[in-house]
Structures are given as C-alpha cells and as structure tokens.
Amino acid sequence: MTGETHLVSTIRELRALVAPYRARGSVVAFVPTMGALHEGHLALVRRAQQIADVVVVSIFVNPLQFSSSEDLDRYPHTLDTDVASLAESGVAVVFVPPVSEIYPDGAAITRISAGPVADRYEGVARPGHFSGVLTVVAKLFNIVSPDIAVFGQKDAQQVFLVREMVHDLNLRVRVEALPTVREPDGLALSSRNRLLLPGQRSAALTLSTALRAADAAARRGAASAVAAGVAVFAAQSEAQLDYFDLVDPVTFARITDDARGDAGSDALALVAARVGSVRLIDNARIALG
C-alpha cells in the first residue's frame, strides 16, 4: 500500500487491508475522527506516521454521543476535502463506514458505562455522551486492532475516559495524546469553530484568555485561579460560561478551592462556554503555587 490511500467503508475491507501489516509485525496506528478535519487532526496524523508503519484514520460521526438530533444534524460534514487532505498527507487507509455498518441493528444495546467521571463537566451538559464515545471507540479499536491510538488533548475528559477504559478492559492498545493545536491568537482548533458566525471569533477567544488568566493567578492557589478564569467571562457577554474548574490531571477529581500544593503542582483547568449557538471547550495545564 506504499504511496496509495485506500478509502474503505466496510469492516471486512478494513480488516483485509490491515491484516498483512499485522501478520508481519508492523506497528499500526489509529486516529479516530468525526471528520471536518483541521490542522489539529493532521497533527495527530503526522504523529501517528512518526511512530507506526501504517496509519488508519476513521471518519465517522457517531450518533450515540449526541444528545439531540439537532446537534447531530449541525455537525459539519466535509468528506471530500477530508479524504483529499488525508491522501495528500500519505495516510494508508481511510475508514468511512456508514452508520449501518457500525450499528447494523440500530443503536447498540450493549454500551460501555463510562463511570462517575463521565457524569461531570461535559457529562452534565451532554448526558450519555461519554457512554456513546466509549462504545464507538471500543468498537473501532476492535475493528482496527491498532497498537497505538492518537487523540488530541483538547478533549481532555474524553482522553481520560478512553485511557481508563483501555486500562480497565485490558485492551491491547497504547493511547497517546497530543497537546492542543491553536491558532496564533490562542483559539483552540475545533471542527465547531466553522459554525461560528462572523464577529463571534473574539468571543470564542474568551476561553483561551480565561485559561491564561487562571495560569497567571495560580501561584495564589486554586480558588484564585478559578476566580481569575471566571472573571474573564464577566467582561464578555457574548460568551456564556458553562463551567470553569480545576481537576487533578491523574484522577480527574476536582481540586478543592483551598488547595495550594507544592510549588509547581500540576492542575488541569477546564472550561466550556457557548458562543451564540456553538458550544466550545478548552483546557490547559497550570502550576499551582
């Protein structure tokens, strides 16, 4: 398959293409996506190419992880340009299954329970979201049988839960997460950014601005960091804050307001907000003083 991109839509085709690599002990890397690709996705692809002999990228908009049909219908679909970008990047296999291929009997009856962390933060705004995410990720891992799966750290809660699932279910795949890719002005790349209306970009920047403010205040402790992040939204009425909080990056447990920790102790700052009809998330590591 050297130099050629194979576009496949069935599990049988995908497994037939990957099988020869597995038979000779080649390293297979997998990048699961929902399409509407941007430079952040392509950074994941480049990393996968560095660490594997063959790269599989999936494009599948998973209905199980959407809380309403309206949100699902609004998700950007740019399949032709996505496939062209992946081919230009030298991806060996692009897996684009229809919903009926992944869920041939309709919505899956057997689903992965994501545990208590899934009921916080994004789980509050989108009940059942992470159960849908883990179910499709588990199915894709089983279909592709990758050695390594590459995700973006922008979806920090998702990455944490995928790693927990891999550990708890003894799945034979290593999960690697890459730092969030940003525009020069700090805006985290997201497929949903293209849904922003003209003039809403400055409001979208409130998320990354709040993270920087929290980092600057973190030397005074967790409460000061959170207060600084929240305060940024008070000055920007077009960005409606959902949550701003600090968690332990290892356990995803909330860091209490009185926590100060040893100098340089890591915390993960999480933020979600709505700009117009578009819901955006971001996160950043900060050092508590």
Q: Are the beta carbons of 39 and 181 closer than 8 angstroms?
A: yes
Distance, CA of 277 to CA of 226 (rounded, Å): 25
Distance, CA of 81 to CA of 240 (rounded, Å): 32
Helix (H) or strand (E) holding 6: strand 6-8
Residues near 195 by Cβ (< 8 Å), separated by ≥ 6?
74, 76, 277, 278
Instruction: From the candidates 38, 41, 77, 129, give the one annotated as an active-site residue.
Output: 41
> How does DSSP assign 55-99, residue by residue?
EEEEE---GGG-SSHHHHHHS---HHHHHHHHHHTT-SEEE---H
Residue 37 is encoded by which pair of tokens?
Answer: 């690709």
Q: Are the beta carbons of 14 and 144 closer than 8 angstroms?
A: yes
3-state secondary structure of 185: coil
Distance, CA of 4 to CA of 68 (rounded, Å): 38
In the block, residue with structure tokens 């230009």:
88
Q: Residue 41 catalytic?
A: yes
For residue 178, the cross-strand partners are: 152
Query: Which residues carry out catalysis?
Result: 41
